[in-house]
């Protein structure tokens, strides 16, 4: 079972899944999530992250038996399943460079970070950057990011 924001360590995924890169699962219908992924594709110069929709084939295979999953960002990193703010902070740290400074947010207790994360998550359908523009998810061109976008 996946750890909740206030319970123990992150869940481990089955050993049958071969981990070569960290995978960030996201809501493919969410404009804010899609824009986050587009940003991370641009910022991840080392190519350390892969991306897949939560309702896609990759999520069904990798996260099989890991339930219940929240309708939020999920990161599989080093055979662990990270959720909410922990997933987001770890993904940003993996970008390297200046993004490693997000580590400073870890001084805030995870429960508090997750409350803030949940407030944004509840309102994410209306969000996008810049706010007030088209509310559809931005397209993520698989050909442009070949091998980084998983089904």
Averaged over 79-96, what is the pLDDT? 92
Q: Is the pLDDT of residue 89 over 60?
A: yes
Q: Which residues pair with 22 in a beta bridge?
A: 49
- Partnered with residue 76 across adjacent β-strands are 23, 81
45 in a structural domain? yes
In a domain, 117, yes or no: yes
Residue 146 lies in a domain: no
For residue 113, what are the domain limits?
11-126
Q: Which of residues 65 and 86 earns the better pLDDT score?
A: 86
Does residue 140 lie in a domain region?
no
148 is a domain residue: no
The pLDDT tens digits for 3-25 are 334 444 555 554 444 556 799 99
> Is 87 part of any domain?
yes
The DSSP bridge partners found for residue 24 are: 51, 75
As for how many domains the chain has, the answer is 1
Q: How many CA atoms lie within 13 A of 26 on its CB side?
A: 28
* Residues 6+ away with beta carbon under 8 Å from 20: none
- Lowest mean pLDDT segment, chosen from 65-69, 104-108, 126-130: 126-130
2 has a pLDDT exceeding 70: no
**Integer Cα distance of 20 and 16 in angstroms:** 13
Q: Do the Cβ atoms of 151 and 56 come closer than 8 Å? A: yes
Please tell me the distance from the alpha carbon of residue 121 to that of residue 47, in angstroms, as a whole number: 26
Average pLDDT, the chain: 78
We report the CATH number of the domain holding residue 119 as 3.40.30
Whole-angstrom distance between the N-terminal and C-terminal Cα of the chain? 24
Has residue 151 been placed in a domain? Answer: no
Mean pLDDT of 28-47: 87
CA distances, 67 to each of 23, 33, 84, 103, 108 (Å):
17, 21, 14, 27, 26
In a domain, 101, yes or no: yes
Query: Is 102 a residue whose pLDDT tops 80?
Result: yes
Residues in the chain: 151
């Amino acid at each position: 079972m996946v750890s909740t924001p206030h319970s123990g360590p992150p869940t481990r995924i089955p050993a049958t899944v071969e981990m070569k890169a960290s995978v960030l699962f996201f809501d493919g219908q969410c404009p804010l999530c899609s824009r986050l992924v587009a940003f991370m594709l641009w910022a991840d110069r080392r190519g350390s992250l892969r991306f897949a929709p939560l309702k896609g084939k990759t999520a069904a295979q990798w996260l099989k038996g890991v339930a219940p999953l929240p309708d939020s960002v999920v990161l599989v990193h080093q055979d662990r399943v990270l959720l909410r703010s922990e997933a987001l902070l770890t993904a940003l740290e993996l970008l390297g460079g200046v993004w490693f400074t997000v580590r400073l947010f870890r001084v805030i207790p995870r429960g508090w970070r997750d409350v803030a994360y949940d407030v944004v998550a509840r309102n994410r359908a209306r969000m996008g950057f810049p706010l007030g523009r088209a509310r559809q998810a931005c397209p993520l061109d698989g050909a442009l990011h070949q091998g980084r976008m998983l089904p």
